[in-house]
Amino acid sequence: MIDAGNLAKTYGAKEILKDVTFSIPDGEIFGLIGPSGSGKSTLLRLLDLIEMPTAGTLSILGEDALSEKTRFRLRRRMAMLYQKPVIFNLSVYENVAMGMKYRKESQATIEGRVKEALDQIGLPEYARRSAKTLSGGEAQRVALARALVTDPEILFLDEPTANLDPLSAEKIEEIILRLNHDEGMTLVLSTHDMLQGQHLAGRIGVVMEGRIPQIGSTVEIFHKPATKNIARFVQVDNIFPGTITANQAGEASIDVGGTIFRAISPAQPGKDVNVLFRAEDVTIGTGEDPVTSARNVYQGRIKHLEPSGPFVRVIIDCGIDITALVTIRSAEDLNLGYGREVWISVKATAIHVIPLQE
Ligand code: ADP
Ligand code: MG
């Protein structure tokens, strides 16, 4: 449905996007996640054909999207929702009908389409309302109705809930999922919020400094980030540089400042690597002896406890500082506190090894 090959965009001498390559099949929700300033909005403007790339190829709905001839026609088959709703001081009906402005349709067709669009966003009674009176969440839904009124085959959403309260954001997310599930609409969504990426997207492309260094399922991106920067962005707490000291049948031993980790990796002795594992994958025990068959078991002392919603981040000094994430309830049950001696364990399969330079 969308095929981008080595897309690049420069503004003046500034290279904003470089070597961006991906494919999005029909009916997918594709998420672009990345920090602000990484190039997500610029990429969406290229895909929506509002701006031209400086280099690369782009095919959309089976047509060459960069040719003058197809461009105009393709634009009519796609729509975009922006982070800040653009709402005019008119009725909701007129705000939505504006999406049909340049299409020579009869009044009856337009009325029918506006009604359908208002149904799609769950505000069927709002046509006569003055748009001024809408809450932020409702205004964004009306802006979404304006995008939907032309019945687009591809919908782009640029951080659609970044300015909304959690409940309004949830409502927009529900509509997005419904458009995809019930109508098979292809959606491309950008967000700096990796949790939203996880809720919504089937696959994710990570945007970093104008490139897409990794594309994969949320599980792959969260547990097997391809680079240290991606690992940081998806909040992998435990990132340690080390050196492979042995590899036996695909089980590597990695020396991290004297602490040895075992991980499933083909990396060979002598190679410098980064060892990554999520705090959720660290188990804490408090008995005399570790009760586990896990490969990586260490003894340490709790150095810091940091509440985070219903969880607590526990930092344990085991020679190196290892972070574990446990529920507040289990922290209480285990009687975890500053200075407490504990065991921790991490399964070899939970440890991800990447080359040091990445
Ligand atoms: P994101 O949406 O991921 O926050 P953007 O695509 O908005 O990132 O911006 C990426 C980079 O491109 C930023 O450094 C931004 O300042 C720059 N940029 C965006 N638009 C323009 C423009 N029209 N002219 C010059 N620089 C731009
Ligand atoms: Mg942006």
CA of 237 to the centre of ligand 1 (A): 29
User: For domain 2-231, which architecture applies?
Assistant: 3-Layer(aba) Sandwich (3.40)
What's the token pair of residue 232?
Answer: 């940081």
**Mean pLDDT on 62-72:** 93
Domain spans of the chain, in order of start: 2-231, 237-355
**Mean pLDDT on 52-61:** 96
Q: Which residues pair with 189 in a beta bridge?
A: 31, 157
Residue nearest to atom 22 of ligand 1 (CA): 11
Q: Which residues contact 280 (CB under 8 A, 6 or more apart)?
A: 325
Angle (CA) 287-335-329 rounded to 5° is 115
pLDDT above 90 as % of the chain: 87
Mean pLDDT of the chain: 93
Enumerate residues lining ligand 1, CB below 6 A.
11, 14, 16, 34, 36-42
Residue 178 to residue 196: CA distance in whole angstroms: 15
Residue nearest to atom 7 of ligand 1 (CA): 41
pLDDT band at 104 (very low <50, low <70, confident <90, very high): confident
Residue 136 to residue 131: CA distance in whole angstroms: 11
User: For domain 237-355, which architecture applies?
Assistant: Beta Barrel (2.40)
- Pocket probe mutation, ligand 1, options 16, 32, 45, max atoms within 8 Å of Cβ: 16
Using DSSP's 3-state secondary structure scheme, residue 226 falls into: coil
Q: Which atom of ligand 1 is nearest to the CA of 34?
A: 3
Note the pTM of the prediction, 2 decimals: 0.89
* Smallest-distance ligand from the CA of 10: 1
* Smallest-distance ligand from the CA of 163: 2
Residue 102 to residue 352: CA distance in whole angstroms: 53
pLDDT band at 6 (very low <50, low <70, confident <90, very high): very high
Q: Which atom of ligand 1 is nearest to the CA of 158?
A: 2
Residue nearest to atom 5 of ligand 1 (CA): 39
* Closest by Cα among 60, 63, 37 to 48: 60
CA of 42 to the centre of ligand 1 (A): 6
Query: How many helical (H) and strand (E) elements, i.e. helices and strands, does the chain have?
Result: 10, 20
Residue nearest to atom 10 of ligand 1 (CA): 39
What digits encode the pLDDT tens for the residues 210-263? 999 999 999 899 999 999 999 999 999 999 999 999 999 999 999 999 999 999
CA of 118 to the centre of ligand 2 (A): 26
* Smallest-distance ligand from the CA of 38: 1
* Smallest-distance ligand from the CA of 42: 1
Residue nearest to atom 6 of ligand 1 (CA): 39
Residue 39 to residue 58: CA distance in whole angstroms: 17
Q: Which atom of ligand 1 is nearest to the CA of 207?
A: 3
List CB-based neighbours of ion ligand 2 within 5 Å.
40-41
What's the token pair of residue 319?
Answer: 């020679």
